[in-house]
Structure formats: structure tokens, C-alpha cells
Structure 1
Amino acid sequence: MTLGTTDLTIGQRLRDVSAMVEPGRITAICGPNGAGKSTLLSALAGLLAPDSGTVSLDGESLAALHPRERAKRIGYLPQDGEVAWDVAVKSLVALGRLPHRDPQSDRGETAIARAIGALDLEAFADRPVTKLSGGEKARVLLARVLAGEPDWILADEPLAALDLAHQLTLLRHLKAEADSGAGVVIVLHDLALAMNHADRVLMLDAGRLVADGPPGDALSAETIRQVWQVPARWIGDPGARALVVSPPDEG
């Protein structure tokens, strides 16, 4: 079961990007601002039509998949998720079951409760979403994705609004999802989080794929210097590495 692109081009945002991601792993998409990270993730979710190239799921064109079936198989969390109306947390999370049409079934209720528990939201289940902090709301929106039990979880900067403790909790949960067989693809700006928690990194720069591989290779100090134009080095042990970046005149 694979999800990926072949020679994908979308305007000036992506050019000839080919990459296949696999289930059971966390794949991080990294790169500078404007590199095309969110564009690639949106294309993998079937939300952007390419100018040329293909997006495929299990070898078949994603565009040919019925929208409801696509929604069941791919859960997508945008970078700036908006809540259009004031509803309770549990009701919003339950919307993740809409593709299955079973929010009130035993399976639906179980999936909703599991998602709420996974994101530590039990205390907020009956609270209006508009009364939550930005970080709490971000966790609710991700819980909505998880409630749908998708084969693929695509999340654009899911850690941006979270404090350190909830970042680590979320990463552990995404790892558990991957270990259970789901494919997880996340956009990350924090290269240390990608180095320590991802199984694979796709590095974009100016709309092109410039590195693809294990974090130690795709996030090498040499690649970081080439992409960001700053001297950098990694310190620490595997799994707890930190990136040290020096001003250019100290390189």
C-alpha cells in the first residue's frame, strides 16, 4: 500500500517531484519557507490537481477514487484549521466519522472515544471548541482526523501550536499509529524533531525534491548548509540529537 507522486508539477510550487511513501512509517516533509511542503501534502491528500504528473494510491490515480472513499482512507489536517461554528469538542471529533456514516454506532463511538483519549481531551469533551486555547483546539482538530481511522494521516505542521509536553505526546501517538500499520506524513519545520522522530525525510527546496531518505542522510549537515545557506552540525546521541546552527561568518 503506497501513496505518492510521479513527476508532479503544480505551477511554480512543485516541479517534477517523484516520491512514494509507505505505511508503517513516519515520513517528514521538511524545507525552507516556500519550498512547497504544504503544496505536496495537499496534493497527496487529493486536494490539489497537478498540472502534470500523477498522484497515486496503491498504484491507481487518486483523482479516480470516489471522494467518500478517499476521505475514509486519507485523513488530512491543514496547517490553519478553522472551526466554522461553536460546537462541543466531542461533536467536532465525531465529524471524523462522516465518511463512514456511523458516528452513533458502537464502532464509531469507540473510535471517537479513543481519539479523544489519545489527545488528552477527556476534560474538554463537552466544552465549546471556541472556549479552548489555540493548542487545545489544534489537538481537537487532530482528534477529528484520528476518529476517522484513516489508512493515511497527513498533517501540516501539527506540532506548531502545541507545548513541548503535548508535542512529545502527539509524536508518540503518531508513532503508535504508524506501528499499527497507518502511513503518517507530516510537515515539520523543526529539523531536530524530524531527525529524532521520523523514519524518512523528504527535503524540498524551491519546489524540488533535493533529498529523500533516512533522517541521518536527508538531514545531513551538508544538506542543511546547501538548502539554508548556514553552517550547521548535529550533536548528541541518536534519538536525542540537537542541531547547532552558526552565523554564516562563523562557518
Structure 2
Amino acid sequence: MADPVSDLSGRTIFITGSGGVLGSTYVRRMLAAGAHVIASDLPGARADALKALHGDDPRFRFYDLDVSDEDQVTGIFQRILADGWQPNVVLNNAAITGELLMGAGKPFPDFADISVSDWERTMRTNLTAPFMVARQMDRDIVGKWPCTLINVASMYALNGAHHKIYDGMPFKNFSAYGVSKAGVHGLTVWLAGYWAARGATVNTIAPGAVFNNHSEEFQRRVGELIMAGRMAKPDEIADAMLFLSSPAAGYMTGQMINVDGGFSAW
């Protein structure tokens, strides 16, 4: 008998924000575990890299998708279904960080100087978009077959940031990011009860600090706040994501799984 945690051959998984460091890792690992994977992201270099890497795999499909665009989200599942794919796992993974919002080389503002437009753009991508994806699941998928939604939060969703670790760094912890990620788990617990009678589960994964070419000094500062003493490798987050996507997590709903090396347990 196949191990239900490592065997995703019965799963068709739709992932938003598939081109980032974690999203691309989820795609790779899920394909390796036997899943059919429907990836999506904004058009551009990240999307092109994913298609170049996996485009010849018949179990891989890619759709251009701006999750902040209501019209695009409203039509995404009908497009997928029309192409003969039936997603039973959805990952609300797309997000914008302060670094992405500011852009490379631009000064990161203090809290008092953050614009309402930057705050609202972050909320639109990180919180309103997961709501829109979930709403479209409700319309097109939930109740038609068993399915699961996994919302991606952060170690900063329910824990305050340690602002001193950002002193002298080219980026800071962005208030809207943590607030939006707390809201994501609020969406999880609301939907878990709402969908329970229709055979759908909803959980949150809260990744810790994931290494993505950070400086040695920043790694040191973060490591001092984490029981494991270091930042996470992308595959370590993917290990937990594969579990949540598998039949082994079938009795879990409304939960937040922290994969943060012990950061939230101090």
C-alpha cells in the first residue's frame, strides 16, 4: 500500500503564486509525489522558468493569473474544468512582501511614511485574493467532490515582528504583510466550519523564515530567534505542505500548522 503522505497520485493541485521560491518548490515536489499540478502566476520570467522546467510533463499545466484581478479569478476554475482538470486541492500561495512592493533598490519607508496605496495593494494580493479564490471554489468546486483549501500565512501572522533584526538592512518588516497573514487564518477558521457539511477541509500553513539569498548577517540575526538556530530550506516547508495536501490530513480542518523551527514556541 502506498504511503498516503508521500503519494499524491490521486490529487490534482491548483497553486497560486507558483513561481516564487516556495511555490516552485511545491510544484517540483508535488509532481515528484505523483500529483497533477496546475500552476499559476503573473506572466514573466518566473512563469517562463516554470514552464521551461515542467512544460513537457503531461501532469503539469500552467495558467497566467493575477490573483488581484477579480475577473481573472472568477473565471479560473471554469477554464481549468473546461480543459479537463478537476482540482481537489487548492493552495492560496500568492503573496506580496514589502521587498517586492518597494522594488529593488528603493528605500523602504518607516511605518509613518507607508502610503495607503501600498497598504491596500498588499491587502488586495494577500487577503482579498485568497477570499476571491475561496469564493470561486464555493461556486465551482465545493460540494461537487471532496476538496481541501490550504491558505499560506506566515510566522508573523500571530506573532509580532522583532524589528531590531532589520536595523541596517535594505528591507524592513512590513506591517501590512503580518496583518494580511493574520487575516488569512481568520478566513481559514471561518471557511472550515462553513464548508464542513459539504466535504471540504481548510487549513493554514505558517512558514517560518525561508532562506532566499539573505546575507550572512541577517541569517545570524534571524537564527538567534529560532530554536533550530537557522532559516528554513524551501523543501522543509514543502514537506509539511505535501502532508496537508495528502489524504493523511483528511481529518484536519480549521488548523494552523507552524513550520518555523520553533520561532512561535519561545
TM-score (norm 1): 0.36
Greater strand percent: which structure? 1
TM-score (norm 2): 0.34
